[in-house]
Amino acid sequence: MTQMKLFKYLKISALVAGLAVVPAQVVQAAVVTPNTNMGSAVVIQANTGQVLADQNGRERLPVASVSKLIVVYMLEQKIQNHELALDQKVKVPTDIAAFSQDASVANVPMTTNRTYTVSQILDATLIESSNAAAMELAHLVAGSQEDYYRQAETLLSSWGIKNPKMYSASGLRNGDLGTFEDNSVAPSAENKFSAREIALIAKHLVDDYPQILTYTQKKEADFPLPDGTNMTLKNTNLLLGNQKYQIDGLKTGLTPNNGSNLVTHGKLNQQPVITVVLNTNDHPRQEIFNQTLSVLDQVQNQTKTQTPQTDHTIKIDNAAGNHGQVALDTKDGQQYFTKRTDGEITVKAIMPKKNVAAPLQVHKVIASGKVAFDQKTDADFIDGKTPSVKLYPTKNVEKADIFTTLIQKVS
């Protein structure tokens, strides 16, 4: 091999080797790519997890008080397991009470000299976005802030969120935690999640504990102060009660350097949706609300909803008529989104249920299938799983006689 050929060979080999180690670029999907000047924006259908809009939805950004949704989820877990109760009275530890009275990082003062109900602490966390209240919830569910971080990370990992790192229950930066600061990490360390990850967290909260919306939709609530008087907690979500999208929560967040964040739950085309918009950056705080509505408007204007259709049949040996073939229907009415110009949504990969036999009523589940979209971008789901749908007979099916059944089995 000549020197020149050897040089070309080595150059090409190095290029191929380099290509082999370059990670594959993640393809942005979602039904719509919205136009927004925020750090990122994601809209999902709350019950199915279909990603309706995504603009930079995979980049991890500071989320500040949106972090409080995680400790709220863990509180609801404890309540469901009868380890805590909303009307249970609790005392706030000395260090958290002292933290709550530092006006530079806290806005709802608490004291060790009285008790609070868990419900009151939850109000302070979700309505006024109290940092100390979120820390008290972490203390209640895990026993300490450090144990809460590890348990929260384990929970998030179980949902498919890779390598989550928690630095505070409240969303504060490590250096703002006072006596709770972790000296082993930088003062600037803070909770960072992508808009998609926050949407997944919010979906789990609303799916598993829908009653939380009775708290997130409150505009005001009373909270007892150390001097015996009450303060009025005021919700920082200015979109609460929005009629167009029926917004009833969930959480705002304000970062020191990256501006505001907002997670909302509402309805679009009668479908429940969760919208996550992160980081206004240099834009005024009001933009987080304007841009949330703008993104929802774009989804509404560019999409349509459809119910999956199927013309499949399955064979049931003892079904009367049509050689044992039974026509299928979805019946549950669940709708999904597509672009206005896209085709139909169908059901594929039909799997009959075991041991199904006639007679059959129209409400009897006899098979299942996977939702299928003409366009791959429409088939983007927040947990990476394509939904299954239950399938029913289109009409009641009578039982065939023994002779017909035998013939259908042989055929």
pLDDT digits (tens, 9 = 90+) for 216-254: 999 999 999 999 999 999 999 999 999 999 999 999 999
Give the SS3 label for residue 103: coil
Q: What is the pLDDT of residue 319?
A: 82
Which of 140-174 are b and which e, b meaning 16 or more Cβ less than 10 Å from the residue's Cβ?
bbbeebeebbebbbebbeeeebeebebbbbbbbbb
**pLDDT(132) > 50:** yes
Least confident of 152-166, 258-272, 392-406: 392-406
Residues whose CB falls within 8 Å of the CB of residue 290, separated by 6 or more in sequence, listed in order: none
Which of 64-103 are b and which e, b meaning 16 or more Cβ less than 10 Å from the residue's Cβ?
bbbbbbbbbbbbbbbbeeeebeeeeebebeebbbbbbeee
* Catalytic (active site) residue 157: no
Q: What is the pLDDT of residue 405?
A: 74
Residue 278: what residue type? L
pLDDT (tens digit per residue) in 340-383: 988 889 999 899 999 888 898 999 999 999 999 988 889 999 99
Cβ–Cβ under 8 Å, residues 121 and 127: no
Least confident of 93-102, 158-167, 379-388: 379-388
Q: What is the pLDDT of residue 400?
A: 79
* Catalytic (active site) residue 129: yes
Q: What is the pLDDT of residue 42?
A: 98
Integer Cα distance of 240 and 245 in angstroms: 10
Which of 351-369 are b and which e, b meaning 16 or more Cβ less than 10 Å from the residue's Cβ?
eeeeebebebeeeeebbbb
CATH architecture of 307-410: Sandwich (2.60)
Q: How confident is the model at residue 187 (pLDDT cuts 50, 70, 90)?
A: very high
Average pLDDT, the chain: 91
* Cis amide leading into 187 (omega within 30): no
Q: Domain 40-303, CATH 3.40.710.10 — does that match?
A: yes
Residue list for the binding site: 251
Q: What is the pLDDT of residue 311?
A: 87
Cβ–Cβ under 8 Å, residues 110 and 135: no
Q: How confident is the model at residue 333 (pLDDT cuts 50, 70, 90)?
A: confident
**pLDDT(26) > 80:** no
Sign of the four-CA dihedral 121, 122, 126, 127: negative
Average pLDDT over residues 56-84: 98
Q: What is the pLDDT of residue 12?
A: 41
Average pLDDT over residues 32-48: 96
* Catalytic (active site) residue 68: yes
Cβ–Cβ under 8 Å, residues 147 and 161: no
177 or 26: which carries more pLDDT confidence? 177
pLDDT (tens digit per residue) in 8-25: 443 444 433 333 333 333
Packing angle between helix 68-80 and helix 118-126, nearest 10 degrees? 160
* Active-site annotation holder among 65, 130, 168, 260: 65
Cβ–Cβ under 8 Å, residues 297 and 381: no
Q: What is the pLDDT of residue 14?
A: 41
Cβ–Cβ under 8 Å, residues 398 and 358: yes
**pLDDT(117) > 90:** yes
Integer Cα distance of 34 and 294 in angstroms: 9
* Active-site annotation holder among 68, 100, 170, 260: 68
Integer Cα distance of 154 and 165 in angstroms: 10
Q: What is the pLDDT of residue 138?
A: 98
* Active-site annotation holder among 40, 67, 100, 129: 129
Each domain of the chain, given as residue ranges in start order, spans 40-303, 307-410
7 or 142: which carries more pLDDT confidence? 142
Q: How confident is the model at residue 306 (pLDDT cuts 50, 70, 90)?
A: very high
Residue list for the binding site for substrate: 251
The CA distances from residue 36 to 245, 264, 304, 407, in Å, are: 18, 16, 21, 63
Q: How many CB atoms lie within 10 A of CB 318?
A: 21
- Look at the pTM and tell me if it is higher than 0.75: yes
Q: Among 193-197, 361-365, 370-374, 392-396, which range has the highest average pLDDT?
A: 193-197
Q: What is the pLDDT of residue 376?
A: 87
